[in-house]
């Protein structure tokens, strides 16, 4: 969503966008539109109502800038530390966008680190296999297995018992 400032309600009243019930009641309050911006792309559609607003009227997307049905007014009592709620909401949205961007950078860094670790694990596994195989080979290059298929080093250390790996 993008916040589109429209100015004071008195200006909208003078331009005939809002009627006297709004224009004369809240002339100095600020008015805004909230445009739907998927992936930051303006759509020309704003949060609004299809019919004259009343309690319970559903909010839908309506063409921006055409009628009062997409105008939102922040009343002077709707302030946070002197800042109206619309500006506070926009600042919050910007902070959320900044945090999402930072998290995306961190995710990319983590994925790159994960890929490096995966390569390191593969290299360690290959080294371990080479060390294991070289330990099994006899110094004379003879077959490292006995007649029953057990490695010679294991056969030399263990009698043919079930707990020593005999088959």
Which residues constitute the domain of residue 72?
2-77
Q: What is the pLDDT of residue 94?
A: 75
Q: What is the pLDDT of residue 62?
A: 92
Strand partners, 7: 31
The end-to-end CA distance of the chain, in Å, is 70
Higher pLDDT residue, 152 or 52?
52
Domain for residue 145, yes or no? no
Residue 125 confidence (pLDDT) above 70: yes
Domain for residue 70, yes or no? yes
Domain for residue 140, yes or no? no
- Judge residue 97's burial from the number of C-beta atoms within 10 Å of its C-beta, 0-12 exposed, 13-18 middle, 19 or more buried: exposed
Q: pLDDT band at residue 12, thresholds of 50, 70 and 90?
A: very high
Residue 164 confidence (pLDDT) above 60: no
Domain for residue 68, yes or no? yes
Q: What is the pLDDT of residue 147?
A: 62
Least confident of 1-10, 21-30, 82-91, 96-105: 82-91
Domain for residue 92, yes or no? no
Residue 67 confidence (pLDDT) above 90: no
Domain for residue 118, yes or no? no
Higher pLDDT residue, 155 or 144?
144
To the nearest whole number, what is the mean pLDDT of the chain? 78
Higher pLDDT residue, 142 or 27?
27
Number of domains in the chain: 1
Distances (CA, A) of 129 to 93, 94, 116, 124, 145: 53, 53, 20, 9, 16
- Give φ, ψ of 140 to 5 degrees: -90, 5
Domain for residue 143, yes or no? no
């Amino acid at each position: 969503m993008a916040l589109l400032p429209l100015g004071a309600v008195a200006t909208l009243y003078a331009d005939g966008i809002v009627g006297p019930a709004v224009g004369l009641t809240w002339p100095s309050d600020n008015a805004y539109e909230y445009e739907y911006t998927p992936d930051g792309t303006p759509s020309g559609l704003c949060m609004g109502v299809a019919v004259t607003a009343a309690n319970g009227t559903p909010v839908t997307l309506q063409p921006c800038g055409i009628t009062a049905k997409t105008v939102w007014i922040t009343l002077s009592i709707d302030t946070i530390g002197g800042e109206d709620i619309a500006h506070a909401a926009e600042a919050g949205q910007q902070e959320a966008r900044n945090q999402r961007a930072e998290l995306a950078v961190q995710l990319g860094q983590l994925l790159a680190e994960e890929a490096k670790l995966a390569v390191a694990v593969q290299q360690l596994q290959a080294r371990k296999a080479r060390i294991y195989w070289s330990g099994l080979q006899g110094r004379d290059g003879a077959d490292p297995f006995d007649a029953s298929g057990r490695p010679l080093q294991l056969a030399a250390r263990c009698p043919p018992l079930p707990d020593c790996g005999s088959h």
